[in-house]
Amino acid sequence: MDLLANLVLGFEAALTLQNLGYATLGVVLGTAIGVLPGLGPVPTIAMLLPLTYALPPESAVIMLAGIFYGSQYGGSTTSILVNIPGESSSVVTCLDGHKMARNGQAGLALATAALSSFFAGCVATVLLAAFAPTLASVAFKFGPAEYFSLMVLGLLGAVALAHGSVLHAICMILFGILLGLVGTDITSGGQRFTMGFSELFDGIEFVALAMGLFGLAEVISNAGRQDDRQLVTKKLSGLWPSRADLRRMTAPAVRGTALGSLLGLLPGGGATLSSFAAYALEKKVSKRPRDFGTGVLEGVAAPEAANNAAAQTSFIPMLTLGMPSNAVMALMIGALMLHNIQPGPQVITNNPQLFWGLVASMWIGNVILVVLNLPMIFVWVKMLSIPYRYLFPSIILISCVGVFSVTNDVFGVFLMAAFGAIGYILLRLDCEVAPMLLGFVLGQSLEAYFRRAMLISDGSLWVFVERPLSAAMLILAATIVMTFFIPTLTRKRTEVFREAE
């Protein structure tokens, strides 16, 4: 009965004219940036963070969430029609989706992607509604030692699942943690790493860092890209699958949803990892594995279901534990903190309208996506002709205005520019910046919980192993570290991410 009452509360919040409008805006914008290669949910959400400052918290979170899971829908369009993934989670869809389009089945491939994503999104939302409150009640029993161990586990998990070198990922996380320590010391009140700038006394502005690392760095790295996108077909037909096609896609969509829902919970996991894992699983269980890559429907249904399910279940650890499982969730934490809302178990009890309104909006958003996506497919196809040279100046302008509106100071714009240059250099050095953002978001909390645990235990480090839950998480973290030194697993990890690139 409590769940039903909470869902009623959520739908009352989500179905207000304002929130319904922002949910629609979010999913439409998410589809659009998913369609346009070179953009993605991370830089888009980073750019829109300042604009959400003027919105009610519920509307802001509903819109940003819509952008995230909406981009998973849109990314499949370019993968299928142009063989260019609009979003990293849609890389696998190119393998069979584009082949289907070349075989005259573009409409069927697009419908398969949309319906599989819709099914996965609905199931993942049910899981969010059912399990998030339970996990939040468990989190209330966490002390400083448990939270510290959980964050260590999360950061090491992000290292294991980050692209590229493990050493690079560890360095990025440590760099992010150091950036999070800039400002006033939480205990002594002294200044740390501010270099005499009074603007840094309160720490580095999250919006400036996020927009620089993801918005400006993305613009710089893509500025020289050639506009050589060519559609495989300009006429689309068969946008509704037959009964036989529906039967064929059902089992792969169910398996992809289950796997994506699980991987979305993992630190460092998310839509991209889930889509690759679902494709690999589907190939293993198939009676015709050699057909994969030649244009089979199952190769589209499974990864598209997985990436959408992962996008929505990744909200569970972020909302209940305050643990971002990927870069987008780190940005969502930033959005909540702009509204003075601390992510964690207290979100459900202190802000029930926000939490349950978000859950309800995901159902509504998935319905809007499937209703809009297929009829508007010709609009999304037309968007593929927009040259990059028209997009990037507007992104820079929005970024500068957005940062200035939050900081009300030119220093924030210069800070964003500096992080844009740093982000570009890191991309050129094959260093993924997402672990750095996770380290920055968790850095202050990591320090705070460590200090609290030390105060409680009179300076004894044994507090982290004396408490069973904390010890279990540290053992799991140590196990993850040990896997870094197993050659077979290291090679396999490298092969997986090389295929993703």
pLDDT category of residue 483 using cuts at 50, 70 and 90? confident
Give the span between the Cα atoms of 32 and 25, in whole angstroms.
10
Q: How confident is the model at residue 500 (pLDDT cuts 50, 70, 90)?
A: very low
Domain ranges of the chain: 2-231+239-500
Mean pLDDT of the chain: 79
Q: What does the pLDDT average to over 165-174? A: 82
Lowest mean pLDDT among 112-126, 252-266, 422-436, 483-497: 483-497
Give the C-alpha separation, 46 to 346, whole Å. Answer: 25
Residue 227: its pLDDT value, please? 53
Whole-number Å distance between alpha carbons of 302 and 85: 16
Does position 125 have pLDDT exceeding 70, yes or no?
A: yes
Q: How far apart are CA 249 and CA 113, in angstroms?
A: 10
Q: So what's the pLDDT on residue 260?
A: 85
Residue 163's nearest CA partner among 41, 309, 313, 273 is 273
Tens of pLDDT, residue by residue over 383-424, are: 666 666 676 777 787 778 777 876 778 888 888 889 989 988
3-state DSSP assignment of residue 185: coil
The pLDDT score that the predictor gives to residue 182 is 87
> 3-class SS at 191?
strand
Q: What percent of the chain has pLDDT over 70?
A: 84
Residue type, 197: F
Can you say whether residue 37 is alpha, beta or left, with left for phi > 0 and alpha for psi between -120 and 50 degrees? Answer: beta
Give me the count of residues in the chain: 501
pLDDT higher than threshold 80 for residue 172: yes
Q: CA dihedral in degrees (377, 379, 381, 387; nearest 10)?
A: -160
User: Looking at the predicted structure, is the pLDDT value of residue 460 above 60?
Assistant: yes
Q: Which residues pair with 270 in a beta bridge?
A: none
What confidence tier does 189 reach under pLDDT thresholds 50, 70, 90?
confident
Query: Which residue has better confidence, 441 or 269?
Result: 441
- Average pLDDT, integer, range 155-165: 70
Give the model confidence (pLDDT) of 30-85 as tens digits. Answer: 888 777 765 677 777 877 877 787 888 889 889 988 888 888 777 777 777 776 66
Q: Which residue has the higher pLDDT, 223 or 102?
A: 102
pLDDT of residue 486: 67
Q: Residue written as tokens 């939480």?
A: 186
Nearest Cα to 268, choosing from 146, 141, 166? 166
Contact 355, 132 (CB under 8 A): yes
Torsion of CA 311, 313, 319, 320, to 10 degrees: -160
Q: Is 192 helix (H, G, I), strand (E, B) or coil?
A: strand
DSSP string covering 336-391: HHHTT---STHHHHH-HHHHHHHHHHHHHHHHHHHHHHTTTHHHHHHHTT--HHHH
Distance CA 160, CA 496 (A): 12
pLDDT in tens, 464-473: 888 888 888 8
pLDDT in tens, 294-334: 888 888 888 888 888 888 888 888 888 777 777 788 888 88
Taking the model in full, what pTM does it have? 0.75
Q: How far apart are CA 192 and CA 195, in angstroms?
A: 8
Tell me the mean pLDDT in the region 237-258: 82
Q: Residue 438 in contact with residue 331, Cβ under 8 Å?
A: no
